[in-house]
Amino acid sequence: MSRKTRVLITGAGGFIGSHLVNTLRRKGYWVRGADIVHSKFMDPAADEFRLLDLRRWENCLEATDGIDEVYSLAANMGGIGFIETVHAEVLHDNVLINTHMIEAARQNGVQRYFYASSACIYPTYRQEEADCVGLKETEAYPADPDNEYGWEKLYSERVCAAYWREHGLETRIARFHNIYGPFGTYEGGREKAPAALCRKAAEAFDGGELEVWGDGQQTRSFCYIDDCLEGIHRLMRSDHREPLNIGSEEMVTIDQLADMAIALSGKNLTRSYRPAKPQGVRGRSSDNTLVRKVLGWSPQTSLWEGMQKTYPWISFQVRLKRERMGPRAAGKAMRAGASV
């Protein structure tokens, strides 16, 4: 019997990482997970899980020991409300994680290295209009990301390219566009728009309001978790070393996304707008021309289909939280504007 490929997934306690652990295990890989925390919502079936702070060099060496392939997903990150307000910490933590991890992988003889980049690397000047066109991989330069998280991601892409050129490490780079789905962060400030709006709709009383950041006309595309996982696997098995979009081309306004959450809640809710809240760029979507050419594939799940799977899970979490608090405490928290 041939030896199983041994893979390391960093960020295995996070949303995408937890899902990826289970996906690669089902595909027959031996999986080691590593993260500073355990998964909050899932029980990923890793063969081995190590609780490690990957900002520290010695922990990256430990994590990559005996590993054939690395899936580098660990990052200090969150939704727009987080990455637009927490800058120094994000830069400090993520640069340490990514530079230590790729060098440890090189020293320990890792054969392939996947890096999870982001659509945040794309220039602000290409995202100033809501009615925008999808972003192509070649449009990353001249560089002008709209936040420090995007600058760090772009820097780490260049690190990966340098390690291929100078050390022969086979690197693969995916630029994720707003990945969402069940078992992800849905409260606390690090959640992304689909989860935030699902939570707000689930929390609201029938006849109440749904808070929307901005004017609701900013546009985005959102990629369902199952499509993201398939894209990661196909890219890692390909010969493509340049960055590749993993995202949907289905662009919607935030108002349209809010309408989906309201419809799934079955409630009569009106939208209230908060123009002073962080909004990010005005418009962003993925151009999948290259991913179709390179992988013969692109994400297939419509936003409505993905939201139909995401909303029930978040609604269940909200209901569980209310039950733990008790009806009087939950009602008081709701009136005070707290997340319940």
Q: Are 277 and 307 within one domain?
A: yes
Q: Are 44 and 172 within one domain?
A: yes
Total domains in the chain come to 2
Q: Specify the CATH number for the domain of residue 236.
A: 3.40.50.720
Q: Is the dihedral of CA 201, 202, 205, 211 positive or negative?
A: negative
Over the chain (340 residues), what is each successive 10-residue block's mean pLDDT? 87 97 97 95 92 98 98 92 89 97 98 98 96 97 95 98 98 98 94 96 97 97 98 98 98 98 98 93 97 97 98 97 73 47
122 among known catalytic residues? no
Q: Are 165 and 53 within one domain?
A: yes
Q: Are 165 and 212 within one domain?
A: no
Of 71, 113, 115, 149, the catalytic one is 149
Within-domain flag for 188: no
| Domain range for 271 | 193-220+251-282+302-333
pTM above 0.85, yes or no: yes
Q: Are 149 and 273 within one domain?
A: no
Query: Which pLDDT score, from 0 to 100, does residue 124 have?
Result: 96
Q: Specify the CATH number for the domain of residue 212.
A: 3.90.25.10
Q: Are 172 and 80 within one domain?
A: yes
Conformational region of residue 273, where left means phi above 0, alpha means psi within -120 to 50, and beta covers everything else = beta
Residues 6+ apart with CB under 8 A from 94: 75, 76, 77, 149, 152, 153, 156
Q: Are 211 and 314 within one domain?
A: yes
* Cβ atoms of residues 175 and 117 within 8 Å: yes
Query: Which pLDDT score, from 0 to 100, does residue 329 have?
Result: 54
* Cβ atoms of residues 163 and 102 within 8 Å: yes
Q: Are 141 and 257 within one domain?
A: no
